[in-house]
Amino acid sequence: MDVLQEVGQLKTDAVLHKFIVVADDFTGSNDCGVQFKSYGLSTVTILSKENLSNVYGYDAVVIDSETRNMTREESYRKSEEIGAAIKQRANSSILYKKIDSTLRGNIVAELEALDKVIEPEIVVFAPAYPKNKRTTVHGIQYLDGVSIERTEISNDPKHPATTSDLRELLGQSETMNFTHVDINSIRQDEISEILHTAKTKYFSFDAEFDEDINTMVRQILLLNKKTLWVGSAGLADSIIKILSAGIVRHKSVMAVVGSINSISAVQAQKAAEDKNVVSVKMDIENILLKPVEEKKRLTIEIIDHMDQGFDILLASALDGRQVVAASSLGKKVGMPLGQISTSIACFMGDVVLEVLKSRKLSGIFLTGGDTAINVIEKLSASGSVVIKEIETGVPFVSLLGGPFEGLKMVTKAGAFGNENTIINAIKYLRNNE
């Protein structure tokens, strides 16, 4: 099994496939960590290697070493200690050394320490961050087109950048012999040949655009080697993006809108406009006449959208026309509108249960009293634990009892809130999983 296949196991074995990152300052730690979070990976930054034992279960752990202000010797010792702690817990984790994209800090000393302790099979050094105008061309690091030593970064009183030349920087090492891979080699598909013929395990890379980094990352992954990745947030973003097909993305939020109140309808329409939300349409006639088939169809569609990283809006009536249609259908089949409403609420509870049997959610938003209680009962909960109010009259709660105990929820009476209440609740649940 190669690395790309192995990463597919992340869906079922996330604990063994964490990312472990070492950064040299707190802001850089979070700058890198947010790349993981943006792909739905649970991420935490810790300030000490001792805290590693307290953060099992996170997809990405970022260790802030605070070594940027240390002497070379101090940063080496601290990095060595962190490396030893990582090695004990790494298993098959992806190991990442986050560095400053303007080449400040004790980069070489920290790399030497981590290399010595972790013993990777290959070390990849790529500091470019094209989205932030940090590029590497012919071994020179640029900030918005200007070489680093010609920018104000070189005058930083605490952490001046001493060189923009990767060869000069990495050449300071007495234990690591880097081969540099030029931008032309990357674009002419020569990476594989260089990796296989070079008599070293240390490689530095140019990158002017994101695709240059992506090309390099794909080639490294195909080697199926224990890799120490070294770079800024740009390299981290590329690695996660390429592996994202196999990585569990953020657990989706499901908004279930059973209220036919006009205010809820406006809120649902506003939420449906969000680029991260997919509105899944229910067929009222099928709910009443072919409920089994409709439940299966909706469940498959919802799960498919979730697997693509979207949040879900399931609404019984986005506008008045659906209410009129339901009323007309009721007359045709001899069913009062109130009974139709009850059937729809019960059906929506069934759909939520089916989805939860297959996928974990960040949380559920519920509006409409009948819908809310039907969902709660279908999930075999005994109640809810009130956590806080996120808007006036809009509580954030968690399920009490049953197989889904602890599931986060936001509930709302139909007429409460403003036009942004539903989308705000979805975003709140998305960020508080």
CATH of span 3-243:
3.40.50.10840
Burial of residue 89 (CB within 10 Å: 0-12, 13-18, 19+) is: middle
Verdict on whether the full-model pTM lies above 0.85: no
Task: Tell me what pLDDT residue 369 has.
Answer: 78
Structure token pair of residue 261? 């109140």
What tens-digit pLDDT sequence spans the chain (433 residues)? Answer: 443 343 333 333 333 337 889 998 898 888 888 888 877 777 889 998 877 766 655 678 899 999 988 999 999 999 999 998 888 766 667 899 999 888 988 999 999 999 999 999 999 999 999 999 999 999 999 999 999 989 888 787 777 888 999 999 999 999 999 999 999 999 999 999 999 999 999 999 999 999 999 999 999 998 888 999 999 989 998 998 888 655 545 689 999 987 666 787 888 889 999 999 999 988 888 888 888 999 999 998 998 888 778 999 998 766 556 656 666 766 777 777 678 778 888 999 999 998 888 777 999 999 877 888 999 999 999 999 999 999 998 999 999 998 889 999 999 886 787 889 999 999 999 887 6
Q: Where in the chain is the domain with CATH 3.40.50.10840?
A: 3-243
CA distances from residue 289 to 38, 230, 340 in whole angstroms, order as listed: 42, 59, 11
Task: Tell me what pLDDT residue 64 has.
Answer: 92
User: CB-based contacts of 157: which residues, under 8 Å, 6+ apart?
Assistant: none
Q: Please report which residue ranges of 244-278 form alpha helices under DSSP H.
A: 262-272
Q: What radius of gyration do the chain's Cα atoms show?
A: 26
**Distance separating alpha carbons of residues 183 and 206, to the nearest angstrom:** 5
Q: Where in the chain is the domain with CATH 3.40.980.20?
A: 253-431
Task: Tell me the pLDDT of the chain averaged across its residues.
Answer: 85
Structure token pair of residue 405? 């105990």
Confirm if 129 and 32 have CB atoms less than 8 A apart.
Answer: no
Could you name the CATH architecture of 253-431? 3-Layer(aba) Sandwich (3.40)
Is residue 325 classed as helix, strand or coil in its secondary structure?
helix
